[in-house]
Structure 1
Amino acid sequence: MRNLKIKQKILLLTAVPLILTVIALMLVSIYQLRSLGEQEVNQIRTTMMASKRESLLNYIEITESSIRPILTSELDVEEMKRQVYTAVRAISYGDEDGYIFGLNYDGVMTIHAAKPELEGRNVIELKDVNGTPLIADLIKAGRNGGGYVEYLWDKPSRGTEAPKLSYAVDIKPLGWVLGTGFYIDDIDDAVALKQAEVDAKIQATVVISSGVGVAILIVIVLINLWFSNRALVKPILELSESARQMSLGKLNTNISVDSKDEIGELADAIGRMQKSLKVIFKKLKQG
């Protein structure tokens, strides 16, 4: 700082606080936007998940209603199973991804319209790629009065595994649990889309804030430089030149600085010194 000129020091004292202020305001704006964005993202996820849970419960209730006459009939258990199998296997909703599945308590797949090859197989040990024992969890949820289970499962319309939410309910007369599920990758898609919007807003805020901040900084710095040059730098340079001329013996140098601040006091002091030097030189010449 000692090697900097006054104009440079003034520029630093003006620019640095402004830059820090702009950065602070930008960080606050980004934080607020990110917080609001996270709230919106969480709201989307919560709302969509609640809607899917309600729909799953409705589909299972409809299925239970459709097979209730069979379960309350006087048919033997095996005939009940056959008729329930036929009725449930025919149920579909939405698109090809909407179906009802059945499992007995031992984990044997009794109904699976989307993957008939699984029917009759014991899949109790089946786990998804994350290690979730989905069959065991579905049976447990169903026998505990009905419940939801999340896992990854093959999605026919995409040909790949996708996150799925299923609801299972106990069918005690048959020793089965019936369940159905929704793929919830659309929730992730909606969340990703919203997150992209939030990120775009943050990026736009950074660009706009930076542009506005730079513009304001330039204007304020220019005004400050103009004012400081007029009120500080120019008078100081004039006084410096006057002092230099006096050091060369030119005591008639005109000191034109006229202000009421510290620079004015300095000008008055130099003026008094000039008068004193004139008196001293005059006496020396007379002596």
Structure 2
Amino acid sequence: MAQKSIGTKLNVGLILFAVIMAAGITAGSIILLRGYSGKSIKGYVEDMDNIQKQYGKDMYSLHESRLKDLTQLAVSTVKSYHKEAHDTNRLAEKFRPRVKNVVISAYHIIDHISKMPKLKEEEKKKLALETIGAIRYEDDLGNYVFVHDTEGIMLAHVKSNLVGTNMLEYKDKKGKFYIKDFIKTGKTKGEGFSDYWWVRPGDTDPTLKVTYLKLFKKWGWIIGSGTHALLLEQDIKKQALETIGSMRYGDNDYFWVNDYDQKMLSHITPANVGKNFKDYKDAKGTKIFEKFLSIAKRRGEEGESMKYWWPKPGQSEPAPKMSFIRGFADWNWVVGTGVYIDYVEKQIELQKQKVNAQVEKQKSEFQSTLRFYFIIILGFVLILTISLIFIFRFSLIQPLVGRVKRLTSAADMISTGEDVDITDISKREDEIGELGAAFERMSVSVKKLLEAVDQDED
């Protein structure tokens, strides 16, 4: 089997070393690039995921802020009606024409009876008092007509126990001698208004009563009637509900009002008004009106938002909805409005798709960049490897092999007694130089030996 020359072995070793070194550099570079690109892609994905989540939060926050402002408007509207319902001066002005007309009518009845020719004076008075005492109007308000004389003795009243009583020293809850004031008004003006605080039939607490008085001078009677101003509150509540029920915004978004008993008072769907939703559950099984009530009681007019499922107007299938709910404790009302968020979810999904597309695009760009740098590194390593092979081959291996061949040739020449000149090799300060010096010494020794043999032969 032929032996490989030392040059071949050195070349093979050099190539193997270069290949191993190139492979190591390439592998290390790939690992570093992959690690860097992996971290970059991961960071980009996390950033885009955060952007997507923030987009969703911003969308909901935007709608929540809008609903918050809208419900504030609705509650402010309710509060303005509530203020009107408790503005006694304004209420009094509303009631005065009504009670005045009643008293004027009662006056004409008495005047008519007083002119009946077939009745005695006492019979006329008795008939007049019975007729006036039987007058009732606005049953839900419990209004009536009373009569007392100018001495303060009550002659006709809805409370029979007061008839015949001198009420001149009676005071209302504010300390006003209201009977004295009635008499003064009748005597000095003939007729006029006088407000005082009185207990409505069936109640225990006094409320402001707007009263009109007119003197029937012939008999010295003061005819009067009044109505409790706070009783207008029910009418004002009705007006408030009508106003809230008519308010719209957006395409067909609306407000609703339910009470603390979870009874619907105002809604865009007429069939819902008057219905009790205490046991109502949405598509997820949540008793949403209990949640509404909890927010109204816990947060009051500050309010809070919540998500749930509710059918769109004119539809039966429930859809996701976000509402803002506020409470109005003075009337035990829950006021709310909301928007259907299925389109918001669609917007978020579209944004998610855009983000995913950007992520995939970024991944593709990173892969392309990685391949580009891999080719650059591979080319650099190949050039470096080839350069090293050439450098080592021509600066080390070839000179080394050449010197070995010269020493081999020198050995052949020495064996035949020829002169050799390998001074350039023997002067080297390395192992090859030492070998060359040894060859020179051997050449001198062989030459002397051959000369000695020649002398002996002679």
TM-score by length of 1: 0.74
String of CA shifts for 1:155-202, please: whole Å, max 9, x gaps: 349875443221222233432211111233444334333333322222
In structure 2, the partner of 1:106 is: 261
Mapping of 1:1-287 within 5 angstroms?
Answer: 8-72=19-83, 73=85, 74-76=230-232, 78-96=234-252, 98-113=253-268, 115-144=269-298, 145=300, 146-156=303-313, 161-232=318-389, 257-259=393-395, 264=396, 266-267=397-398, 269-281=400-412
What's the Cα RMSD here? 3.2
Q: Is the 8 A contact 2:327 2:333 kept in 1?
A: yes
Alignment partner of 2:394: what SS? coil
Alignment partner of 1:209: what SS? helix
* Count of aligned pairs: 257
Measured after TM superposition, the shift of residue 134 of structure 1 is 1.6
Q: Counterpart amino acid of 1:27?
A: G
1: distance between equivalents of 2:316 and 2:25?
62
| Relative contact order, higher structure (CA 8 A, sep 6+) | 1
Q: Counterpart amino acid of 2:287?
A: P
2: distance between equivalents of 1:221 and 1:159?
67
Alignment partner of 2:251: what SS? coil
Q: Is the 8 A contact 1:7 1:228 kept in 2?
A: yes
Measured after TM superposition, the shift of residue 203 of structure 1 is 1.5
Measured after TM superposition, the shift of residue 138 of structure 1 is 0.8
Q: Counterpart amino acid of 2:264?
A: M
String of CA shifts for 1:70-120, please: whole Å, max 9, x gaps: 323134554344323322211111111x1111222122222221x333332
In structure 1, the partner of 2:165 is: none
2: distance between equivalents of 1:5 and 1:162?
71
Q: Is the 8 A contact 2:81 2:237 kept in 1?
A: no
Stretches of structure 1 lacking an aligned partner (at least 5 in a row) = 237-256
Stretches of structure 2 lacking an aligned partner (at least 5 in a row) = 1-12, 86-229, 418-445, 447-458
String of CA shifts for 1:55-81, please: whole Å, max 9, x gaps: 222212222233334323134554344
Q: Is the 8 A contact 1:138 1:148 kept in 2?
A: no
Q: Counterpart amino acid of 2:75?
A: E
Rg larger for: 2
Q: Is the 8 A contact 2:258 2:264 kept in 1?
A: yes
Q: Is the 8 A contact 1:33 1:198 kept in 2?
A: no
1: distance between equivalents of 2:287 and 2:64?
20
2: distance between equivalents of 1:122 and 1:81?
19
Q: Is the 8 A contact 1:70 1:84 kept in 2?
A: yes
TM-score by length of 2: 0.49
Alignment partner of 1:198: what SS? helix
Q: Counterpart amino acid of 1:24?
A: G
In structure 2, relative to structure 1, the CA distance for the partners of 1:162 and 1:12 (3 Å cut) is farther
Q: Is the 8 A contact 2:325 2:335 kept in 1?
A: yes
In structure 2, the partner of 1:245 is: none
1: distance between equivalents of 2:23 and 2:287?
64
In structure 2, relative to structure 1, the CA distance for the partners of 1:269 and 1:149 (3 Å cut) is same
Q: Is the 8 A contact 1:165 1:183 kept in 2?
A: yes
Q: Counterpart amino acid of 2:364?
A: V
